Amino acid sequence: MSEATDDLVAEIERLGERLGEARAQVARRVIGQETVVDLTLNALLSGGHALLVGAPGLAKTRLVETLGGVMGLGANRIQFTPDLMPADILGAEVLEEAAGGGRAFRFIQGPIFCQLLMADEINRASPRTQSALLQAMQEKEVTVAGANRPLPRPFHVLATQNPIEQEGTYPLPEAQLDRFLLQVDVDYPTLDAERAILMATTGLDDAAATPVFDADSLLQAQRLVRRMPVGESVVEAILALVRSARPGEGEATEEVEAAVAWGPGPRAAQALMMAVRAKALLEQRLAPSVADVAALARPALKHRMALTFSAKAEGQTIEAVIDGLVARALDGPREAAA
């Protein structure tokens, strides 16, 4: 191997060890949600955003708070409600008395000016307010009063959504869903995990997490993720999976044509390419595999696809459709890689 390759391998190994320490710190406060923690860390390493979907009381808020501390990021939290306005998120210009007399406008930053934003129950806000996040999530800046204002770097949105109660909510538009790198489903803990939660959280003391990263080191980690090598078999597996999920494409089967109303765009393939690299890094491996593509198919695709009315009437689920796509599109590449 060349010297440059040796240096890259050494960097990956060091960062993998550091990420292992970060995972251990998060696990002190968020018990029994290892998969959720890994997927959320994956989104941060990939430089993206995550949508956490789960019932109340499953430590979604606690996870975001803990990650902010462990990753050394300045965090803010917004509780989304129907009466929330875009200015409540972005900020606004106010007219003030100037020091030398007269009046001048001064911009007061909203809570979006942070490095880690928790958008709690994002589907409770009106579409007008939800759309205030679109430019921020994609361009990492906001436009207020005709001026473009850059956000701190790194900038990540971790949004939560309650899938149970739909009354008085506004489903996120497809364009905004597509801007989330991954959808992370937060399930109920196992019996042993829930027992550990009871013992750890109902006493006098609450476990504290120690910072492992800071903003600069996270940015360095994100750059390293982009430098990680990806084999041709993994690239082909990503393309095969994403393209087979699009009705109207040549790769789509009759089942997909009948069941899928609209499929994932190129941003889904980009998300998978970044996420498989981050997954390999979290597991202290030097390169991703086709199995990583299969493991991340649901988180990367389910919020970027929709079922037809007839498929819903037949009781089909988007998860089952994705599992079928994985079986058809990735079995061949996995066998070839083996």
Contact present, 84 and 133 (Cβ < 8 Å): no
- pLDDT tens for 282-325 read 998 888 999 999 999 999 999 998 888 988 898 889 999 899 99
Return the SS3 of 160.
strand
Indicate if the pLDDT at residue 338 is higher than 60. Answer: no
Region 8-23 average pLDDT = 88
* Helical packing angle, 232-244 and 266-282, nearest 10°: 140
pLDDT number for residue 52? 92
- pLDDT tens for 201-248 read 777 677 778 889 999 999 999 999 999 889 999 999 999 999 988 887
Indicate if the pLDDT at residue 145 is higher than 60. Answer: yes
- pLDDT tens for 263-285 read 898 999 999 999 999 999 999 88
Q: What is the DSSP letter of 153?
A: S
In the chain, the percentage of residues whose pLDDT exceeds 70 is 93
Phi, psi torsion values for 73, nearest 5 degrees: -110, 145
Residue ranges and CATH numbers for the domains of the chain are 1-82+111-227 (3.40.50.300), 229-338 (1.10.8.80)
- pLDDT tens for 252-264 read 678 888 888 888 9
Q: Smallest Cα–Cα separation from 272: which of 253, 310, 244, 309? A: 244
CA–CA gap between residue 196 and residue 198 (Å, rounded):
5
Indicate if the pLDDT at residue 186 is higher than 80. Answer: yes
Contact present, 269 and 305 (Cβ < 8 Å): no
Confidence tier at 332 by pLDDT (50, 70, 90): low
Q: Is 32 left (phi over 0), alpha (psi -120 to 50) or beta?
A: left
pLDDT number for residue 184? 93
Q: In 85-166, where do the E strands start and end?
A: 91-97, 103-109, 116-120, 141-144, 147-150, 156-161
pTM: 0.89
Indicate if the pLDDT at residue 45 is higher than 90. Answer: yes
Contact present, 278 and 37 (Cβ < 8 Å): no
